[in-house]
């Protein structure tokens, strides 16, 4: 009996070790200086051309935030005739649409039987005609600085796919603070560290910029509510490098209630599982052709969510210490490595605030476990996160 339990103990430890090792490795890599940032700086000296941008705001029931986001964007220090702002208004109030029509933008009001961000972007590409060089995707709550397009213009001369630095614009309570810290950990591990190792950055879903023709070629292949993971997989399978631009900020509203957190994570977890099952059949081809970025992306989809890892490791470590103390040491080591890695991955200015809110983690993880029990990987319904 004890031998069987010991085999289970070792097997479980090895499985969890994979997720912890991935986080620890890329956190360590993030500490090194990134020389390739100089590429864009050198390009700026040679690049004088002003690219033309198509700015897309897919907005589903976003009456509370869309007007402010668009008005702030129109403060760009970029030539007005070199960018077109398009709001895809889906299920928004007539008063909101009337206000938007008074702004120097293009307003689209499609009617979808089943709404999704992918459908909104596809609709916009079909409806808006123009000679564009690049397309930018922003969420309805995203706010950017006036120099946003000027900064992007430099990077677009070098890269066909760019992920900007999405960061929190609010810290209302424990949930918002932890959501913001989680975003920054993702930025460190899946974006900054990956680029420093010569690997492609992960996409987030907004604050993204693509070569227009490249985006137009791929956007109509998106079918699920996890459109960012789908698009990322498509680009990486085509061996398109995704550049992370840490100095181009996109301020994003963080969820401030446990209910919103649960809905948001349900969408993300479902998209993660869908992406994993979609990518797995393509792995043999990726191995043959050496598509390292695509293989790495598939590995990412198999990782255990970090908040679940923290609670799981803490619970198992305590349980093993009580039941079989001699088996507990390896669990405490794993927990220590994970905790240290996450601490390093969080920007210094957020560390104290983030860890002071850690008491909210167990409740949030409980909601994530509920998501696992109710998750349907075949579900493609759009799960909206309410902003306000």
pLDDT 10s digits, 33-53: 665 556 555 655 566 689 999
Number of independent structural domains in the chain:
1
Residues 6+ apart with CB under 8 A from 286: 237, 294, 295, 298
- Model pLDDT for residues 173-182, shown as the tens digit of each residue: 666 777 778 8
Average pLDDT over residues 162-171: 86
Is pLDDT of 22 > 60? yes
| pLDDT confidence bin for 384, thresholds 50/70/90 | very low
- pLDDT category of residue 13 using cuts at 50, 70 and 90: very high
Question: Which residue in 41, 226, 267, 58 sits closest to 151, CA to CA?
Answer: 41
Which carries the bigger pLDDT value, residue 92 or residue 364?
92
Can you tell me the mean pLDDT for 151-160? 91
Separation between Cα atoms, residue 119 and residue 219, nearest integer Å: 9
Q: What is the pLDDT of residue 32?
A: 81
CATH number at residue 126: 3.90.550.10
What pLDDT is stored for residue 218 in this prediction?
A: 97
Give residue 34's pLDDT: 63
**What confidence tens digit (pLDDT) does each residue in 251-292 have?**
988 766 556 556 666 666 777 888 888 899 999 999 999 999
Least confident of 236-245, 271-280, 369-378: 369-378
Structure confidence at residue 359 (pLDDT): 47
- pLDDT at residue 311 in the model: 81
When pLDDT is cut at 50, 70 and 90, the band that residue 378 belongs to is: low
Asked if the model's pLDDT at residue 224 lies above 50, the reply is: yes
CA triplet 47, 52, 54: central angle to 5 degrees? 140
Whether 185 has a pLDDT exceeding 70, the answer reads yes
CA distances from 385 to 93, 254, 266 (A): 17, 10, 10
- What is the arithmetic mean of pLDDT over 192-202? 94
Instruction: Supply the range of the domain harboring residue 302.
Output: 1-388
- Which distant-in-sequence residues (6+ apart) come within 8 Å of 299 by Cβ? 22
Q: What is the pLDDT of residue 178?
A: 74
Q: How confident is the model at residue 282, as a pLDDT?
A: 93
* pLDDT score for 121: 96
Assign 85 to helix, strand or coil: strand
């Amino acid at each position: 009996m004890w031998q069987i339990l010991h085999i289970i103990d070792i097997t479980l430890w090895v499985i969890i070790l994979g997720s912890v090792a991935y986080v620890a490795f890329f956190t360590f890599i993030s500490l090194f200086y990134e020389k390739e940032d100089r590429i864009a700086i050198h390009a700026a000296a040679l690049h004088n051309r002003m690219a033309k941008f198509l700015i897309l705001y897919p907005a589903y029931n976003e009456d509370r935030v869309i007007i402010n986001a668009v008005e702030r964007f129109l403060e760009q220090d970029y030539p007005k005739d070199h960018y077109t702002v398009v709001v895809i208004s889906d299920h928004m109030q007539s008063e909101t649409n009337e206000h938007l029509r008074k702004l120097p933008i293009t307003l689209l009001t499609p009617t979808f039987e089943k709404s999704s961000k992918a459908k909104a972007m596809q609709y916009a590409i079909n409806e808006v005609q123009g000679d564009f060089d690049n397309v930018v995707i922003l969420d309805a709550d995203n706010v950017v600085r006036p120099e946003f397009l000027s900064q992007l213009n430099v990077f677009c001369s070098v890269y066909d796919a760019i992920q900007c630095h999405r960061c929190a614009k609010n810290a209302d309570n424990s949930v918002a603070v932890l959501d913001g810290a989680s975003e920054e950990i993702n930025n460190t591990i899946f974006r900054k560290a990956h680029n420093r190792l010569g690997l492609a950055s992960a996409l987030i879903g907004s604050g993204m910029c693509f070569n227009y023709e490249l985006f137009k070629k791929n956007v109509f292949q998106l079918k699920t509510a996890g459109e960012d993971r789908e698009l990322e997989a498509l680009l990486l399978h085509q061996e398109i490098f995704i550049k992370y631009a840490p100095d181009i900020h996109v301020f994003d509203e963080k969820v401030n209630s446990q209910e919103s957190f649960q809905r948001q994570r349900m969408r993300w977890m479902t998209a993660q599982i869908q992406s994993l099952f979609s990518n797995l059949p393509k792995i043999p081809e990726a191995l043959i052709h050496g598509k390292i970025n695509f293989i790495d992306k598939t590995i990412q989809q198999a990782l255990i969510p970090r908040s679940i890892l923290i609670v799981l490791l803490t619970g198992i470590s305590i349980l093993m210490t009580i039941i079989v103390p001699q088996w507990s040491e390896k669990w405490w080591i794993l927990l220590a490595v994970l905790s240290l890695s996450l601490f390093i991955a969080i920007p210094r200015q957020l560390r104290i605030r983030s860890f002071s809110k850690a008491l909210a983690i167990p409740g949030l993880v409980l909601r994530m476990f509920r998501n696992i029990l109710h998750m349907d990987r075949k579900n493609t319904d759009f799960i909206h996160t309410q902003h306000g």
